[in-house]
A and B are shown apart, each in its own frame.
Chain A
Amino acid sequence: MSQEAGSESARFEEPNTSPPGPRSLSDLFWTFNRLSLQGFGGVLAIAQRELVERKQWISREQFLELLSVSQVLPGPNVVNLSLMIGDRHFGLRGAFVALGGMLAIPLVIVLAVTVLYAQYASLSMVSGALRGMGAVAAGLVIATALKLATTLRSGAMGLPLSAVFCLLTFIAIALLRWPLVWVLLGLGPVAVAVAWRRIKP
């Protein structure tokens, strides 16, 4: 883990060796299609694996950065993420191609599943498989969080302060079940103010 994080930050210091982007619009489309089709119970974990580790279009730091921005904007995070990456490389066309890659084929599949579902819903093997996939989906999200957390060490906030804000967010959302909007509006400005003070102008 630590070796990986080390090479990541080393690459980050050399702008010349920044990760390559998508070669073409069709590369963009099929990459997002591929990651979307692998995303059972959520696409985020796959997006991290495909975009950062396999394709290396963006670094872990950039992924976390884009995700943080997606988070405070309305709309699904992964959809916002696809728009941002597409827009960054090919402008508006890229944004819509990335979005289309993410949604088109999975949309057809999910509607087909909807039509089929009624016939098989009562089978206990089907509902059992759904439960098993649900448990894996939970594990995937937690693993993604742990991987991205390694980038906090080199961030402006520093590890101890980051850990405090991370823990407070977790408690507010997971344990107290406060609405996300209030947590972001309450904790966000404090965290940004702390970062502001630590980043020299």
Chain B
Amino acid sequence: MSAWMAGHDWVDIASLFGHFLVLSLLAVGGAISTTPDMSRYLVHDHHWLSPEEFTASIAIAQAAPGPNLLFVAVLGWNVAGPIGALATMTGILIPSTALSLWATRWGQSRKETRGVRSFTAGMAPLTIGLLLATGWILAGPTGGHIGAMLLVAATVLVIVKTKLSPIWVVAAGAVAGALGLT
């Protein structure tokens, strides 16, 4: 069994699972907002990953297709193999999934009330502001590189003005990057 857990024992796995269970409820705005705490737990406290391994785990998940949340599985895998990935993924998903299903049903049954309408109308501009901020932060590493900034701007223009599928823009970005233009 321990081959599936990269040499860790069940105590480690339980600790890993428990920690991600707690982080799930703190992950307002997505799992990425809890990365500082994951790094403290995995890198600093337990020395299960080096800082470089930690950063690479997140970069891999962002480069692969699918929700960014999958970096949690990569972290679990790099710590303790398949069982580790299972522990971190189920830990991060179970509490937030239960809460979000409950909250949706509660809100859905009160959809037309003044309270729920005020809530969604009031939060909408914050959501837009947050999306713009996310774009700004993601663009951060391009930091003043003219090719990369042009790529960001071109993406915005193409997606807003045309019906082209984003996948082609991503592919174009990968080619431009591989050719050293960014």
Contact = CB atoms under 8 A, between A and B. Distances in A.
Judge: A and B partners, yes or no.
yes
Interface string A68-80: 1111111111111
Interface string B55-85: 0110111111111111001100110000001
B133 interface: yes
A63 to B, nearest CB: 10
Interface in B97-136: 97, 99-101, 103-105, 107-108, 114-115, 117-136
A47 to B, nearest CB: 10
Contact of B104 (A36, A87, A167, A183): A87
Contacts of A170: 129-130, 132-133, 136
Given A76-B27, A135-B182, A169 B133 contact: yes
A92 B129 contact: no
Q: For chain B, what secondary structure do more than half of its interface residues adopt (helix, strand, loop), or is it mixed? A: helix
B139 interface: yes
Q: For chain A, what secondary structure do more than half of its interface residues adopt (helix, strand, loop), or is it mixed? A: helix
Contact of A195 (B78, B122, B152, B175): B122
Contacts of B181: 132
Contacts of B163: 53
A55 interface: no
A134 B61 CA distance: 12
Given A69-B103, A72-B28, A145 B64 contact: no
B65 A39 contact: yes
A71 B103 contact: no
Contacts of B103: 69, 73
A125 B67 CA distance: 24
Given A73-B96, A135-B142, A170-B136, A78 B67 contact: yes
A89 B175 CA distance: 40
A201 interface: yes
Residue among A168, A173, A193 with the highest chain B CB neighbour number at 10 A? A173
B14 interface: no
Contacts, number: 367
A110 B167 contact: no
B124 A196 contact: no
Given A75-B24, A133-B170, A137-B138, A156 B67 contact: no
A20 interface: no
Given A41-B170, A113-B64, A144-B131, A135 B152 contact: yes
A72 B181 CA distance: 38
B144 interface: no
Contacts of A187: 126
B25 A132 contact: no
Given A45-B159, A106-B67, A145 B132 contact: yes
Nearest to B70: A110
B152 A139 contact: yes
B78 A114 contact: yes
Interface in B160-174: 160, 163, 165-167, 169-170, 172-174
Contacts of B169: 136, 139-140
29 contacts: A40-B64, A46-B167, A53-B163, A68-B120, A75-B31, A75-B97, A79-B67, A109-B65, A110-B60, A128-B178, A130-B59, A131-B148, A131-B177, A133-B63, A135-B173, A141-B134, A143-B159, A146-B156, A165-B126, A169-B125, A169-B126, A170-B130, A173-B137, A174-B132, A188-B126, A192-B123, A195-B122, A196-B114, A199-B121
Given A135-B182, A136-B173, 4 more contacts: A37-B65, A128-B179, A157-B124, A170-B130
